Amino acid sequence: MTGFVSFVSSGPGDPELLTVKAVRRLEVADAVLFDDLSSGPILSHARKDADLVGVGKRAGRPSPRQDHVSQLLVEYASTGAHVVRLKSGDSGVFGRLEEEITALRRAGIGFEIVPGVTAASAAAAAANIPLTRRLTARRLQFITGHDVTGGLPEDLNMAALADPEATTVVYMGKRTFAALAERLLEAGLPPETHALIALGVSTPDQTLSCHTVGELPDVLRAMETKAPVLILYGPLADEDLPH
């Protein structure tokens, strides 16, 4: 008897940003394995008798190993259960989705991916700006601020990241942005390039602040927060940014 797994993207935190499809999958699931950022009001859409299992990973905190999470998915689905793997943001954007898909494929378990609102889109919407701007931001790029060791990835394309005509979004970059900023400036990005820090996007604790890339390292070092930090920089619409 084999079940099925729905990888459901919960968005960045606001339950109103869930898709209709995401809500429908939650309503019929026998078990929900959820990230920390997907908990709270979002879980109210789950069945009252569903198993709710927290498997979230947060920087600097004890977290389940990825192979343990993947094994749990296999074990639940192997009982014939319909399992929802509830991932924050969009599950395909820096969400460790591939490892879990690989485990299901090896076990012969079917799955689907339900896309959702990624934090970058929600942050731009909260700041009332577009992620792309006609004629001035011709390209949009997402990067992760750290690799599996927690350090800044060594293989970043600095020419692309220092492109003044690209909007760049750095996920999970608070601890490593100082090192990234140094490399960006060396690659030619002007230090006065506009930048936006978004904390706790679409949650009650959301804060947005506008700076420059040159200022960001000092700002981030002085910042004490446990909320997820998202950094946007490039040809942002400065007249509309929060100051």
Tell me what the mean pLDDT of segment 215-241 comes to: 86
SS3 95: coil
- Is 57 designated active site? yes
* Summary mean pLDDT of the chain: 91
CB 91 within 8 A of CB 113: yes
Percent pLDDT > 70 in the chain is 94
Q: Specify whether the CB–CB gap between 53 and 32 falls below 8 A.
A: yes
Note the Cα 219 to chain centre separation in Å: 21
174 belongs to the catalytic site: no
- The full set of domains in the chain, from first to last, is 4-114 (3.40.1010.10), 119-240 (3.30.950.10)
Candidates 21, 36, 51, 57; catalytic one: 57
Amino acid at 3: G
If DSSP codes are grouped into helix, strand and coil, which group holds residue 80?
coil
CA distance 37 to 202: 11
* Cβ atoms 107, 29 nearer than 8 A: no
Tell me: pLDDT of 236 over 80: yes
What is the DSSP pairing of strand 229-233 with strand 166-171? Answer: antiparallel
Range 41-63 average pLDDT:
83
> Of 30, 35, 90, 163, which is the active-site residue?
35
Kind of pairing, strands 166-171 and 139-144?
Answer: parallel
pTM: 0.90
Report d(CA 80, CA 58) in Å as an integer: 30
pLDDT for residue 240 is more than 90: no
Least confident segment among 13-22, 127-136, 159-168, 211-220 = 127-136
pLDDT at 118: 96
* Amino acid symbol at 26: L
